[in-house]
Copies of this chain bind each other. A is one copy, B any other.
Amino acid sequence: MTAGRGMQLSRERLLEAYRSMRTIRDFEERVHEEFEAGNLPGFVHLYAGEEASAVGVCSHLDDGDRICSTHRGHGHSIAKGCDVEGMWKELHGSSEGLCGGKGGSMHVADLSKGMMGANGIVGGGPPLALGAAMAAKTLKTGKVAVTFTGDGGSNQGTTFESMNFASVFRLPVLFVFENNGYAEATSSSWSVACGDIVNRAPAFGMPGTQVDGFDFFSVHDAAGEAVERARSGGGPTLIEVRFGRFYGHHEGDNQSYRAAGEVDALRRDRDCLKIFRRRVTEAGLLDDAGLDAVDADVAGLMDRCVEAARAAPRPTPDQLTADVYVSY
């Protein structure tokens, strides 16, 4: 692990990071509840437990930088600054949702925030991230692109070829592989032939690093280095983030493929929020009161969002055929 650059962040930046992680966690816990209660339609994949990855990476990015996400996109969206209420409404299919209710959980996007979309296609994001990076390179904006991919998605051909392509053109792009141990029910230790995903970096002529995804600072520091390299013309980087998800693959998954007690242990010992709190309070960077205030604040926000989303207006019939093509 690199020496703690993240630990040198300002109090404000640290609180912001914590707030972002807490917002994701609360969002996902509440989505879980709402889904169980039958209030949410569609397929939903929760990011709870993985917050340090999205936030650790996105804390280096601004609205001009771009990310491509996966089916498990809520966390990336929030970390990248998407409007939380708009996301809630989107999950409900409201016309006030971030995508007017036409996308849903798997297609949350806000290009104005640099969030190019969750993606229902495993391996759909990496080629698109090349494009954002190519635009940054061509237009010399100094911006970067990040594509988040799961361990399962790391085995998709589109992902592999994107890495080679990025390297050939020295594109400012990060390939962040979120290895949570499973693709649906299939183990990553089985599906990734070379063991750790980071072992693939040399095959694509790029530096690679593996980080502890339960620790914000571990992700933050590796991503910071990679983003700097990308911004300064040094080309792509592969980052493998190792951790585990707190819920099933999607809502409804009974998770019988997991070991007994696996999730309980994760929640107890590997909760990135708890670990973050411990590290910053032990180092005297933040105090519990400040963090508790964030927790309360976020809980309030989430209450308001859930309520607003339930009451939000529904799409009108004319929306069915709107926005297929540009009208001139």
**Chain A interfacial positions (CB closer than 8 Å to B):** 155-161, 163-165, 167-168, 190-195, 199-200, 202-206
Contact = CB atoms under 8 A, between A and B. Distances in A.
A155 to B, nearest CB: 5
Contacts of A156: 157, 161
Contacts of A160: 157, 160-161, 164
A202 B200 CA distance: 7
A165 B192 CA distance: 9
Nearest to A170: B193
Contact of A203 (B165, B168, B200): B200
Nearest to A123: B157
A206 B191 CA distance: 14
A155 B165 CA distance: 8
A242 B191 CA distance: 30
User: Which DSSP category, helix, strand, loop or mixed, fits chain A's interface?
Assistant: helix
25 contacts: A156-B161, A157-B157, A157-B158, A157-B160, A160-B161, A160-B164, A164-B191, A164-B192, A164-B193, A167-B193, A168-B190, A168-B193, A193-B205, A193-B206, A194-B202, A194-B203, A194-B204, A194-B205, A195-B205, A199-B202, A199-B203, A200-B203, A202-B203, A203-B203, A203-B204
Given A156-B161, A157-B160, 6 more contacts: A155-B165, A160-B164, A164-B192, A167-B194, A199-B203, A203-B204
A190 B167 CA distance: 10
Contacts of A161: 155-157, 160
Contacts of A157: 156-161
A194 B202 CA distance: 7
A236 to B, nearest CB: 9
A56 B1 CA distance: 47
Counting from the closest, the 8 A-B pairs by CB-CB distance are A157-B157, A203-B203, A160-B160, A167-B193, A193-B205, A157-B161, A200-B203, A194-B205
